[in-house]
Amino acid sequence: MSTPLLAAVVVALGAIGWLLGSWRSKASVGGKVSTLHSRPGYYGAYVLCWTILPAFFLIVLWSAISPMVVSNMVSSRLPQNVQDGVTQARSLTTSAINTIERGLATLSAEDLEKAAQPNTDVKALLLSKGAPLAINPEPYAVNAALFQLQAKRSSQLLLTISAIGLALLCLGFALFQVGPKLRSRNAVERVALAGLFACSMVAILTTLGIVLSMLFESIHFFGIVPIQDFLFGTVWDPRFSAAGSSGEAGGQFGLLPLLWGTLYISFVALLVAVPVGLFSAVYMSEYASGSVRLMTKPLLEILAGIPTIVYGFFALITFGPLLRDLGAHVGLSISATSVLTAGLIMGVMLIPFVSSLSDDIINAVPQSLREGSYGLGATQSETIKRVILPAALPGIVGAILLAASRAIGETMIVVLAAGIAPNLTLNPFEPVTTITVKIVSQLTGDLEFNSPQTLVAFALGLTLFVFTLALNIYALYIVRKYREQYE
């Protein structure tokens, strides 16, 4: 029985347990539900939790451990020269065994017995069954694949028996406990609270895992390349090393050109997105009529639904050449791929992030503040400047921060509209590149994972994380400081 089907069976047993728990709670008091500690539904949920949760934990634990156990058992059956070989050779052997095992899984029992015979052409047998192999497998690989297939099937059978048996055992134990004095509601609510806590920990643990993975690989990188050369270097030229020289820090890994390009393009984008988005939000929330607002806001939000690759195509094919031609008419040398091209297109993409969130925040300002301002004789523009915007400032800062984070992490628009050349320049008409673009380029290629040319991507990612974290902390400080003055 496959794992998804097994999980479905366990859920079905839990549903049966729910019905039996509710029925038994009523039967234990002769139908006088008012004498029970909890409602009958809680008793059913109590039995359901006892039936499902232990079995699910067993399935998850078994699914996590059994592949490693089977892999170690298969490895121990390989010839000694294969076990003592280099890591790459063992990986190729393991991949070949897995491929053969997937083909053998499609065979019938008679064909498996035939494949186990020493003189059987396994490649031809699998080809006749619609599972071709690229190479003729070694006999030891076929034997290992047969053993792996049998071990997986035995493991799955044992898991099925164990999980269903555990679910039935727990179901009977929970039904035995059902009675008037059982505080089933308290137990069910504790389980629900534990589930909510686990869900809340997902984001925290995910963030922690991302940070630790970047940190460990960055430490490995800084063991090869000095951290001062990375942080203060002005030249980015990794020069991919040849095979066998992965431990050498070939090239220069200066961060400053990439960091400057990231900040420069993001700054230009925010110069476009923040004023346009904020003024659009003020107009839609304070000046526009209901019909205009119903038409304008969805049209603005359409911009957020356009894929970034489409913005990149537009910048590369239409907007970039247009800027270049306009610059030529007025005597300016503007590259088709430049800071200005990428910044303006990215700013248009960010407009809905600022306008939509700011509009919702401004509309959330209590109407009593507006009426109080009008009662003191303030005009509508004075009310907006001195009352509404200060009250909505935390939300507006959050919208701007979201737009800034989106701009810093953008990749496709930069690749197509700003180029891939690291350039430390103040001229907005020249091409630059960003950290995210180089992360993609460093992780794309046929390099060993422990080479500095690959590990530098983690150092770049850690730099982005630290920078955005500092940006969040500073924005929080500004919001708190202004809120204290306003309150």
pLDDT, one tens digit per residue, over 170-227 is 998 888 888 888 888 888 899 999 999 998 899 889 988 888 888 888 888 888 888 8
Question: Among candidates 395, 338, 341, which has minimal Cα distance to 364?
Answer: 395
Residues 156-166, mean pLDDT to the nearest whole number: 90
pLDDT, tens digit, 9 for 90 and up, residues 332-353? 888 888 899 999 999 999 998 8
Give the mean pLDDT of 86-104: 72
Q: Dihedral (C-alpha) 152, 156, 159, 161: value to the nearest 10 degrees? A: -130
Average pLDDT over residues 433-437: 88
Enter the CATH code of domain 252-486.
Answer: 1.10.3720.10
pLDDT of residue 270: 92
- Residue with the bigger pLDDT between 222 and 114: it is 222
| pLDDT value of position 271 | 93
Of 465, 472, 467, 473, nearest to 215 by C-alpha is 465
Mean pLDDT across 438-445: 79
CA angle 55, 61, 64 (to 5 degrees): 140
Which residue, 104, 127, 102, 100, is CA-closest to 114?
Answer: 104
For Cα atoms 217, 84, 246, give the angle at the middle one, nearest 5 degrees.
30
pLDDT of residue 245: 43
Rounded-to-integer distance, Cα 392 and Cα 399, Å? 11
Residue type, 249: A
Q: What are the start-end ranges of the E strands in 245-308?
A: 252-253
CA distance 98 to 145: 7
pLDDT of residue 447: 60
Which pLDDT score, from 0 to 100, does residue 344 have? 92
What whole-number distance in Å separates Cα of residue 243 and Cα of residue 275? Answer: 51
Residue 449 pLDDT > 80, yes or no? no
Query: pLDDT tier at 274 (50, 70, 90 boundaries)?
Result: very high
Quick one: pLDDT at residue 246? 42
User: Does residue 362 have a pLDDT over 70?
Assistant: yes
**What's the 3-state SS for 290-332?**
HHHHHHHHHHHHHHHHCCHHHHHHHHHHHHHHHHHHHHHHCCC
The pLDDT, as a whole number, for residue 114 is 65
Percentages (nearest 5) of helix, strand, coil residues in the chain: 75, 0, 25
In tens, the pLDDT along 39-79 reads: 888 888 888 998 999 999 999 898 888 888 888 887 777 77
Confidence of residue 416 (pLDDT cuts 50, 70, 90): confident
pTM (two decimals): 0.69
Tens digit of pLDDT for each residue in 302-342? 888 888 889 988 988 898 889 888 888 888 888 888 899 99
What's the mean pLDDT in 20-29?
Answer: 83
Percentage of residues in the chain with pLDDT exceeding 90?
9
Q: What per-residue confidence (pLDDT) applies to 243?
A: 42
Give the integer Cα–Cα distance in Å for 454 and 448: 7
CA distance 1 to 9: 10
**pLDDT for residue 242:** 45
Q: Burial of 47 by CB count in 10 Å (0-12 exposed, 13-18 middle, 19+ buried)? A: buried
51 touches 167 (CB < 8 A)? yes
**188 close to 42: Cβ distance less than 8 angstroms:** yes
- pLDDT band of 418, cuts 50, 70, 90: confident
Q: Which of 82-91, 270-279, 301-310 has the lowest mean pLDDT?
A: 82-91
Mean pLDDT of 437-442: 84
pLDDT at 71: 81
- 362 in Cβ contact with 391 (< 8 Å): no
Q: CATH 1.10.3720.10: which residues of the chain?
A: 252-486
Q: How confident is the model at residue 273 (pLDDT cuts 50, 70, 90)?
A: very high
Mean pLDDT, the chain, rounded, equals 82
CA–CA–CA angle 133, 136, 138 (5° rounding): 120
Distance between CA 13 and CA 406 in Å, rounded?
Answer: 46
Q: How far apart are CA 420 and CA 403, in angstroms?
A: 23
Average pLDDT for residues 280-306, to the nearest whole number? 85
Computed on alpha carbons and rounded to an integer, the radius of gyration of the chain in Å comes to 32
Q: Using CB atoms within 10 A of its CB, is residue 426 exposed (0-12), middle (13-18) or buried (19+)?
A: exposed
